[in-house]
Chains A and B, each alone.
Chain A
Amino acid sequence: MKDDLTQCMQNCYEVALSIGTSLDLDKMLKNALLKYTKKLNCFAGLVLEAVDNNRYNVIFSIPKRNMTSLIEMAGLTRVHDDDVYSLSDNDMQFPHLVTIDKDYVQYMKLDDFGLLILFKYGSPFNQFIFDSLAPLNAKLAHACIAARTNEALKKANEALIKKTIHLNESQNQLLDMMDVNEKTREALIKSERKYRSIFENIQDIFYRTDKDGIITEISPSIYRYSGFPRDEVLGQPVDFFYKNKKDRIKLDQALRAEGEVTDFEVRLRHKDGKVIYTSVNAHLLFDLHRRPIGIEGSLRDVTNRKLVEMKLTQSKEQFQTIVNSLPQGIITIDAETKKIVNCNPKAYEMLKTTNERMLGSHCYNFFCPTPKNCCPIDRNIEVVNDEKFITAADGEKIPVMKTVVTFHDNNKKYYLESLIDIRDKVKADEALKTSESKYRSLVENIRDLIFTISPDGTITYVSDSMEEILGYSPDYFLGRKLLDIVPETEQRRAQVLLKKGFSGNKVTQYQVSTRHKTGELVWLEVSFSRIWNNEQIEGALAIARDITERKRFENELVKAKESAEEANESKSRFLANISHEIRTPMNSIIGFGDLLGDLLSDKTQLEYLGAVKSSSHALLALLNDILDLSKIEAGKMELKYKFIDIYEFINDINQQYIFAAQKKNVKFEVEIDPKLPHMLSIDEVRVRQILINLIGNAIKFTHKGKVVVSIGFDKNNKTGKCIDLVFKVSDTGIGVPEDQFEKIFQSFVQKSGQDNRKYGGTGLGLAITKRLTEMMNGDISIESKLNVGSSFTVHLKKIEYQEHAASHKILVDNYTDVEFLGQSILIVEDNNMNQRLMNKYFQDYNLNIRQAMNGVKAMKILKTFTPSLILMDLQMPEMDGYETIQEIKKIGRLEDIPVIAFSATMVSDSNREFIDKYFNEFLRKPVIKKDLIHAISKYLNHIKVDENNTRVDLTQNESNVIFDLSETKNEFFDAQFIEYWNDIKETMVIQEIIDFTNKVETISKVQNDIELQKWSEMTRNAANNYLVEDLEELITIFDDFIGETN
């Protein structure tokens, strides 16, 4: 599988290399699709360009000839008569796969461009290939868009050049027209002058007015001219004709000033309301005394000429507007003189000058860096989109994209230069270059290994330091998956790290191991940070530091620490083991010492014997303390929690010490918070040990005054099930200096300056107390003042309690006296031993018991069976207790059935909440019979029965005997072995029992004694599951057997 993935990645890598090799769309697609089809084993491909939503142009097909059949196969339908197609399924999600017989049509998205359809025979792409292709397709889409953009730019540029040329041509034409017009006008003026006084001019209108402006004579052609008949005009004031009276005023003024006017333009009106642009030639008429008596003149219709002129002006303005609005500078240069004849604002802005300054200047002096007579255009060198520099008026060299077009106007040659300012582009390019080289040199000079990974885990960049750190050339890793290069043992971790690296926001740091090319293990500390691009994760940047040396050092430290711990543990184990060896002779010394005391009468001898005895007792106490401490340190100290009446317990303690205190003339008081619940679940032996240590010390170090023991609980931390229990032992003794508060809790340390002879002790009491407190999820603290007194406070947290001590007590005491008539219990428990044990517990209580191995089986049984109560283990295979209870509570019929949970493991706070919510009760394993009976009696109806009902012992119940040691040969077990056994049964340390059963099992196998082997298995099982009662019974059986043997 891994190989397949690698190969898929390799193929994809090759495909990736083929994309975007040309800016020509067709060429680019051919290269890319050849690789796509070849490397991905496809027989054909189509590329579609989106027109709009679900409408596409088929722009490329490989093979070329098959386009039509491929379109059909891809299910594309032609939209109307266009060459536009739509997909058969409008809502197609990509990637999409369609199977046609043995051919597979695979649709993939080319983001922002269109679709890629690949046709494959035999087997389709799997999801991994689709996923791997996604980035390639994105690359292909980009390449398509780039090629399309390039095409568009090319076209736009060509169009612009064409347009410019066209504009120039139009301008030339207009100029030509203007020129022709001008000549005609001149000729006409001449002719006009010539015939000015000819009355019947066919073309022009002759007219005469009197001094009041009344028309006295006018040519008959006025009708054709203005639509008014001559008769209608004669006798009318000339105002009558004017479209705009201002024209007449101006004409009058001119006539008065000059006496005559030539080609004076006025606007007259036609009868139909249109304007007649009229050229007037007129002069004043005088009488003999040179007094004006009227005006004589001719009118010519110049409307057509005027319209052409206006159009020309308009075109010129239009042309100039276009040129002026172009984003590039446009400069027209006389090719011969090299003088600038025209330019647009962009041009003089770019050159930081004015239009006036530019016009008439020589291009070579002004902006072009080419010297005079060296113009490349003169030598027919084409300048199209060339990157050049021009010089602005202030001397700045400005990079431009320059295109020069030659055109002729009136047999004159001009150069039209188009200049595009590319300062920003050049700056950006340079910045990019600088930045790139800066970062490159930065990265290449860093001693750490730097690499980048794409989101799919492919390595996209590796720094040169790879060679030094891992011995491979950077190329070796490029394109590979990160996961493929980490050793197999690190795969899972690397996967998790990669996932974390991509999901976390912060720079994250991990340590991973990999191999140097030489095979040596290399430790790297890798820090990940994600690379963002437009709010998309583009990849991750990883910086890996070689920490092999550091790691080696750390490992050595860990090893050193481990060996120190091991030594310490061996010590503890050794002490735990030898204590029994020492205790046996100590028993003899003390025992025989006592016996010897009866035989002696000599006072000195008795005194010596007294010393021997007290030393022996002191030694024994020391031994016991060492043993306890060792047990704690070796982790062999087991806590046994059970509910006890704390009031009784304290009463006991009180009885124990009141006498000892009295003997020292010290008052001994016990205070109990009356609100303290009666029944608390504690390890009675160990709590007693703590109190004995503290009270013993208090009495020992107090010579006058009192010792007070107070018991209460933290009111703030009481929950429905638990309290924080507080013991306080205060005295008015010698006190402890503050600088020794910590020391006195250490092993073998006593208060400095303490008179050892006077006070004795092992120096272990407080150390043991502290360790025990901690084991019980508690702490101990001290307050003390020298020669005033001390106060030790013990907090035991989360102690379970029960409110109804009285009723509980009755039930507990009488659990053998009840019967649950006709009621049923479903036990859900995966452990066989526990099932058997519970069956045994219940066998005398007249209960209908059904059992299920796990939640799934329980739910199956509950379909047809409705028990009165359910007992449920929390840890089970397939469906555990947490899940099962939720399923049960969903079924109305079962909702109200009481369910009691039990578990051997510690229950976390969150689980505790869950348990409180769903379960009626929680029992900790091992569940002992009286607790179990007590618990179920809360929920089941029960009656009291005769006291004759007693529990049946496993050993006495034939049906439960599943092994038989009667045939086992006793010669397997020699004296040494029996001694070993005696120790085991005395200490009842679980691990030692397990070790013992292993040894017995070995013997049973050697001797081929199946019964003995069964015993070993059952005992080991019971020990492993903390089935204390079973264990006791099994040990009794074995002990009986050993006893018989002896």
Chain B
Amino acid sequence: MYLKFIERPSKDALLQTLKKVEETTLYKSVLILATANLEMTSDDFLNVFNSLHIKVFGGLFPQVVFEDRSFETGLIVAAFEQDVELIKLENISDPNFSIETFIDSNQSIDFNTMFVFIDGLAKGISNVIDELFNEFGLDVNYIGGGSGNMSMQQAPCLFTNDSFFDDGAILVLMSIQSGIGVSHGWKDLTGPFKITDSFQNVIKAINGEPAFELYKRVIAQYTDLEITEEAFYDIAKSYPFGITMLDDHRIVRDPIKVVDGKYLECVGNVPNGSFVYILSGNRDDLLSAAKEALKKGEMNYKGSDKKSYIFIDCISRTLYLKESFLYEITTVYHPEYQMFGALTIGEISNTGKEYLEYYNKTIVVGVIES
């Protein structure tokens, strides 16, 4: 695998790098992870891609990770020797979205790993995840996350050779040895609460009470913190929801803002009728989750020692851990191996045969043969 980090990306720099990749003829596909704040426009990207023959795909993220650091500005080019099959999903917010319409029944390659990049601000992400599970099952290692920018305004953030789009997803089917580990480290503060009214990623009522009211009251009761609509996320980032699953697992849902003064908008769906806990975390628990994810990822990896690490972590963990976040990266980083990745809006992965989920506030470590 070829890996390059461009700290000040420009159209030329990108073109130069990609041309170089193409010329070696060794590589068959290129993944690009870029930050969302670049000065390059979508046309710039497409112009570059137009002049290439190699398969290109990727997305824009709040931050990217290279080696042992995260960058608010920058671009990573990762070129693979393997051929990939690209499936582009569009209009995923449509309640009737079905993956079937996008899948070629004569799928050409055998694959065991799938990169999934999805518009992190689209609605209906959980539906896509369910469809993925229904279509491909859990014999595949999934790794990926939500793209988008920190302004939380939906904008085109995914790209392939000929398109730059939002409200969609890119599935990259690949035959490559991989191992995945997932962990979050958040613990139950109180609960359970029943979601009595919700639509996609907006919680309207909890226990029959307007969601914000209840959330505000419970947080005040447990922390003495007074949460306001204006400075909502300052406090809410530390107290996400956890959807209950069997065996005590929690799928974290990050409430990001108050809607209409009484509802809570989350990253990712919170199904109506589900039971949730309000979670809390501390620095040590969160950092040990990084260790656990790394351990699991390495344990699940069955390939050779020629390997690279993919680091997918939730942007909101940086907001919570602040300067300690550096430890999270260095916990995972081995200087003798390449590591790259992104800080995402929601993470996608499956832990072996157990889950395929769209997570929030969670760290995913992928180990792939390079």
Q: Is the CB of A121 within 8 A of B354?
A: yes
Q: Does B248 contact A (CB under 8 A)?
A: yes
Tell me, in angstroms, the Cα distance from A248 to B149 when the chains sit together.
105
Q: Is the CB of A44 within 8 A of B246?
A: no
Q: Is the CB of B134 within 8 A of A7?
A: no
Q: Does A99 contact B (CB under 8 A)?
A: no
Q: Is the CB of B194 within 8 A of A475?
A: yes
Tell me, in angstroms, the Cα distance from A3 to B245 when the chains sit together.
12
Q: Does B325 contact A (CB under 8 A)?
A: no
Q: Does A486 contact B (CB under 8 A)?
A: no
Q: Does B208 contact A (CB under 8 A)?
A: yes
Contact with B along A463-490 (1 / 0, CB 8 A): 0000000000111101100000000000
Q: Does B133 contact A (CB under 8 A)?
A: yes
Q: Is the CB of B208 within 8 A of A475?
A: yes
Find the B residue at minimum CB distance from A40. Answer: B246
B residues near A475, Cβ cutoff 8 Å: 194, 196, 207-208
Report which of A4, A34, A121, A473 forms a contact with B134, defined as CB distance below 8 A.
A34
Q: Which of A57-65, A202-210, A623-631, A1008-1016 contacts B (4 or more CB under 8 A)?
A: A57-65
Tell me, in angstroms, the Cα distance from A40 to B354 when the chains sit together.
10
Q: Is the CB of B355 within 8 A of A66?
A: no
Q: How far is the CB of B97 from chain A (nearest CB, A)?
A: 13
Q: Does B274 contact A (CB under 8 A)?
A: yes
Q: Does A371 contact B (CB under 8 A)?
A: no
A residues near B207, Cβ cutoff 8 Å: 473, 475-476
Q: Is the CB of B137 within 8 A of A41?
A: no
Q: Is the CB of A63 within 8 A of B133?
A: yes
Q: Does B249 contact A (CB under 8 A)?
A: yes
Find the B residue at minimum CB distance from A125. Answer: B246
Given A475-B207, A476-B208, A41 and B273 touching (CB < 8 A)? no
Find the B residue at minimum CB distance from A8. Answer: B246
A residues near B354, Cβ cutoff 8 Å: 41, 43, 121-122
Contact with A along B263-302 (1 / 0, CB 8 A): 0000000011111000000000000000000000000000
Given A13-B273, A476-B207, A64 and B134 touching (CB < 8 A)? yes
Q: Is the CB of B138 within 8 A of A44?
A: yes
B residues near A129, Cβ cutoff 8 Å: 246
Q: How far is the CB of B215 from chain A (nearest CB, A)?
A: 16
Q: Does A6 contact B (CB under 8 A)?
A: yes
Report which of B249, B272, B352 forms a contact with A121, defined as CB distance below 8 A.
B352
Q: Is the CB of A11 within 8 A of B245?
A: yes
Q: How far is the CB of B125 from chain A (nearest CB, A)?
A: 14
A:56-82 near B, CB below 8 Å: 62-66
Interface size class of B (residues with CB under 8 A): 20 to 34
Contact with B along A1-21 (1 / 0, CB 8 A): 001101110110110010000
Find the B residue at minimum CB distance from A102. Answer: B353
Contact with B along A22-47 (1 / 0, CB 8 A): 00000000100010011111011000
Given A7-B275, A10-B192, A65 and B137 touching (CB < 8 A)? yes
Q: Is the CB of B208 within 8 A of A10?
A: no
A residues near B248, Cβ cutoff 8 Å: 3-4, 7
Q: Does B110 contact A (CB under 8 A)?
A: no
Q: How far is the CB of B121 from chain A (nearest CB, A)?
A: 23
Q: Is the CB of B208 within 8 A of A44?
A: no
Secondary structure class of chain A's binding surface, majority of residues: helix
Q: Does B213 contact A (CB under 8 A)?
A: no
Report which of A4, A10, A62 forms a contact with B275, defined as CB distance below 8 A.
A10
Q: Is the CB of A479 within 8 A of B137?
A: no
Find the B residue at minimum CB distance from A121. Answer: B353
Given A14-B273, A34-B134, A63-B135, A479 and B244 touching (CB < 8 A)? no
Contact with B along A134-159 (1 / 0, CB 8 A): 00000000000000000000000000
Tell me, in angstroms, the Cα distance from A3 to B277 when the chains sit together.
12
Q: Does B136 contact A (CB under 8 A)?
A: yes
Q: Does A495 contact B (CB under 8 A)?
A: no
Tell me, in angstroms, the Cα distance from A3 to B353 when the chains sit together.
24
Tell me, in angstroms, the Cα distance from A34 to B138 when the chains sit together.
13
Q: Does A123 contact B (CB under 8 A)?
A: yes
Q: Does B247 contact A (CB under 8 A)?
A: yes
Q: Is the CB of B134 within 8 A of A62?
A: yes
Q: Is the CB of A30 within 8 A of B134?
A: yes
Q: Does A103 contact B (CB under 8 A)?
A: yes
Q: Is the CB of A41 within 8 A of B245?
A: yes
Q: Is the CB of A43 within 8 A of B246?
A: no
A residues near B208, Cβ cutoff 8 Å: 473-476
Report which of B135, B246, B274 forms a contact with A64, defined as CB distance below 8 A.
B135
Q: Is the CB of A41 within 8 A of B246?
A: yes
Tell me, in angstroms, the Cα distance from A983 to B355 when the chains sit together.
80
Tell me, in angstroms, the Cα distance from A702 to B135 when the chains sit together.
109
Find the B residue at minimum CB distance from A472. Answer: B207
A residues near B244, Cβ cutoff 8 Å: 7, 10-11
Report which of A7, A17, A34, A121 forms a contact with B246, defined as CB distance below 8 A.
A7
Tell me, in angstroms, the Cα distance from A39 to B249 when the chains sit together.
10
Q: Is the CB of B249 within 8 A of A34?
A: no
Tell me, in angstroms, the Cα distance from A474 to B194 when the chains sit together.
12
B residues near A123, Cβ cutoff 8 Å: 247
Tell me, in angstroms, the Cα distance from A544 to B78 when the chains sit together.
67
A:672-712 near B, CB below 8 Å: none
B residues near A3, Cβ cutoff 8 Å: 248
Q: Is the CB of B137 within 8 A of A43?
A: yes
Tell me, in angstroms, the Cα distance from A473 to B138 when the chains sit together.
40
Q: Is the CB of B130 within 8 A of A34?
A: yes
B residues near A473, Cβ cutoff 8 Å: 207-209
Q: Does B139 contact A (CB under 8 A)?
A: yes
Tell me, in angstroms, the Cα distance from A66 to B244 when the chains sit together.
27
Tell me, in angstroms, the Cα distance from A487 to B166 when the chains sit together.
51
B residues near A7, Cβ cutoff 8 Å: 192, 244-246, 248, 275
Q: Is the CB of A39 within 8 A of B273?
A: no
Tell me, in angstroms, the Cα distance from A3 to B250 when the chains sit together.
13
B residues near A14, Cβ cutoff 8 Å: 271, 273-275
Tell me, in angstroms, the Cα distance from A44 to B135 when the chains sit together.
11
Tell me, in angstroms, the Cα distance from A43 to B142 when the chains sit together.
14
Given A6-B192, A7-B244, A41-B249, A17 and B273 touching (CB < 8 A)? yes
A residues near B138, Cβ cutoff 8 Å: 43-44, 63
B residues near A476, Cβ cutoff 8 Å: 194, 207-208
B residues near A474, Cβ cutoff 8 Å: 208
Report which of B135, B192, B247 forms a contact with A65, defined as CB distance below 8 A.
B135
Find the B residue at minimum CB distance from A33. Answer: B134
A residues near B249, Cβ cutoff 8 Å: 41
B residues near A41, Cβ cutoff 8 Å: 245-247, 249, 354-355
Q: Is the CB of B209 within 8 A of A11?
A: no
B residues near A17, Cβ cutoff 8 Å: 272-273
Tell me, in angstroms, the Cα distance from A103 to B245 when the chains sit together.
19
26 contacts between A and B (CB under 8 A): A6-B192, A10-B194, A10-B274, A11-B244, A11-B245, A14-B275, A34-B130, A40-B246, A43-B353, A43-B354, A44-B137, A62-B137, A63-B133, A63-B135, A63-B137, A63-B138, A64-B134, A64-B137, A66-B139, A103-B353, A121-B354, A122-B353, A473-B207, A474-B208, A475-B194, A476-B207
Top 4 A-B pairs ranked by shortest CB distance? A63-B137, A121-B353, A10-B275, A473-B208
Known: A7-B244, A17-B273, A476-B194. 17 other contacts (CB 8 A): A7-B245, A10-B192, A10-B194, A11-B244, A38-B355, A39-B245, A41-B245, A41-B247, A41-B355, A64-B134, A66-B137, A66-B139, A121-B354, A129-B246, A474-B208, A475-B194, A475-B207
